[in-house]
Structure 1
Amino acid sequence: MEAILPHVAFDGWSDAAFRRAAADRGMTEAAARVVAPRGAVDLAVTYHRQGDEAMRAALVKEDLSALRFRDRIARAVRLRLDVITDREAVRRSTALFALPHLAAEGGRQVWDTADAIWTALGDSSDDINWYTKRMTLSAVYASAVLYWLGDDSLDQQATTDFIDRRIDDVMQIEKLKAQVNDNRLLRPLLGPLGALMGRVRPPARTPPLDLPGSWTTPR
């Protein structure tokens, strides 16, 4: 992982960079692929996961008690960007996971980041909200990364402001959802749908991983 980063700036997360990283560590490519069967792709995924772990560690040290919950989310997104040690590696990762055959893998990494943030902030959802929270935050984080990659403002303040605007947009959606749920005229239509959605449960946290989710058995 450490050996490939200097090569990523020139060759991207490519087979060429992977071979050079293996050589730098005194390994054959075959030996390196024992631990990274997909080569540089696996190392790109590892790099992203290391960022999530660093973000979790940074959040533990933060005192968020005085912040509104929407501000805690914004702060967590900002911290996730702050722990990135190599902007060019992220730029190259964005290009890598935009490829059609790796788009699903890229989406999974963004989803995992959103899940890491919500979990670190103590989210206790056990219904459809578990999914909607991570879906909306995934969109916020993905757009924030793209904005951050081109941000040359002082201390990247423009990125912080961008994150705040995106979180505000999400809050407006939540406000609209509440208004719809409180609408007496729509309640007869929403009742059956709400009952159906109420049976959706988040995936199990212990092996075997129960993805993409589960349904409760009616009593």
Structure 2
Amino acid sequence: MTDTVDDWHDIARNAVLDAALIHVAFDGWSQETLLRAIDDSGVEAALAHALFPRGGVDLALAFHYRGDRKLSEWLPTVEGGMTAKITQAVWHRLELVAMEKEAVRRGATLFALPTHVSEGASAIWNTADTIWNGLGDSSTDYNWYTKRATLSAVYSATMLYWLGDTSADHEDTREFLDRRIANVMQIEKAKARLRGGPLARMFAQGPGRVLDHIRAPVSRPMPGRTGQ
């Protein structure tokens, strides 16, 4: 019975979200957009408000996490080396919302507000986590965090660049992404060269001991995903 209820809630949530996308360009991720979406979708008002209790911000989060779920379904098809896979994954995540660019822009504005910045950061982290998990990341130490933090920075910077990109087929964004990934790989190569050096050994005997005790969380999804 629980699965049936959950399925119905997913159907209702997607119906309201799809209806909302028509109004976001005019009213943003707002309570007004939610009310209009309820009217257009035909979803019972009480259910819709239960699914999106905070109105626009819950709509915006549902939009973002739905994109991450679609990305997760696509990731098993990606091919190539790890660098190529990560680049393709970030690019495909943007392609998934290419037709709703204004909705992404409105979301970026909303999550830049002090009251919602932590939820915006969690949403971006979830995208990075989705990519690493989908590509088979098996790290369990502090690297679990550094990988996701680095990719979160790459994705958020690329998304903001993409929002202002007017080049054909977003070619400028693709070049920007390639540069960001190249910069990250240069840092990783430099770190690899240092690991065997005397400074690395000194670090391992001192501050590095603290890092040895850092472990990835047992429940990997970050806060903010529940119910989305």
**Structure 1 length-normalised TM:** 0.87
Alignment match of 2:183 (pick from 169, 173, 191): 169
Would you say 1:113 and 2:152 are equivalent positions?
no
Q: How much does 1:190 deviate?
A: 3.3
Would you say 1:132 and 2:146 are equivalent positions?
yes
Tell me which protein shows more helix as a share of its residues.
Answer: 2
Alignment match of 1:159 (pick from 144, 169, 173): 173
Structure 2 distance, partners of 1:72, 1:118, is 10
Alignment match of 1:198 (pick from 172, 195, 212): 212
Q: How much does 1:18 deviate?
A: 1.2
Q: How much does 1:179 deviate?
A: 3.1
Structure 1 residues 115 and 28: alpha-carbon distance in aligned structure 2, compared to 1, 3 A threshold: same
| Matched residue SS, 1:2 | helix
Would you say 1:178 and 2:192 are equivalent positions?
yes
Would you say 1:90 and 2:136 are equivalent positions?
no
Amino acid of the structure 2 residue aligned with 1:161 = E
Q: How much does 1:176 deviate?
A: 2.4
> Is the CA contact (8 Å cut-off) linking 2:87 and 2:178 kept in structure 1?
yes
| Matched residue SS, 1:38 | coil
Structure 1 distance, partners of 2:21, 2:138, is 37
Q: How much does 1:188 deviate?
A: 2.2
Structure 2 distance, partners of 1:210, 1:97, is 16
The residue number in structure 1 matching 2:6 is: none
Alignment match of 1:69 (pick from 82, 86, 101): 82
Would you say 1:10 and 2:10 are equivalent positions?
no
Give unpaired runs (5+ residues) of structure 2. 1-16, 224-228
> Is the CA contact (8 Å cut-off) linking 1:97 and 1:106 kept in structure 2?
yes
Amino acid of the structure 1 residue aligned with 2:77 = K
Structure 2 distance, partners of 1:210, 1:2, is 25
Would you say 1:101 and 2:115 are equivalent positions?
yes
Structure 1 residues 127 and 52: alpha-carbon distance in aligned structure 2, compared to 1, 3 A threshold: same
Aligned alpha-carbon RMSD (Å)? 1.9
| Matched residue SS, 2:19 | coil
Percentage of pairs with the same residue: 46
Structure 1 distance, partners of 2:141, 2:209, is 11
Q: Is 103-112 or 157-166 further displaced after alignment?
A: 157-166
**Structure 2 length-normalised TM:** 0.84
Q: Within 5 Å, give how 1:51-66 maps onto structure 2.
A: 51-62=67-78, 64=79
Q: How much does 1:17 deviate?
A: 1.0
Q: Which has the higher contact order (CA 8 A, sep 6+)?
A: 2
Structure 1 residues 20 and 210: alpha-carbon distance in aligned structure 2, compared to 1, 3 A threshold: closer
How many residue pairs align between the two structures?
A: 206
| Matched residue SS, 2:116 | helix
Alignment match of 1:80 (pick from 77, 85, 93): 93
- Residue by residue over 1:123-148, the C-alpha shift from the partner in whole angstroms, topping out at 9 and shown as x without a partner, is 00010000000000000000010111
Give unpaired runs (5+ residues) of structure 1. 212-219
Amino acid of the structure 1 residue aligned with 2:151 = L
Q: How much does 1:29 deviate?
A: 5.2
> Is the CA contact (8 Å cut-off) linking 1:203 and 1:210 kept in structure 2?
no
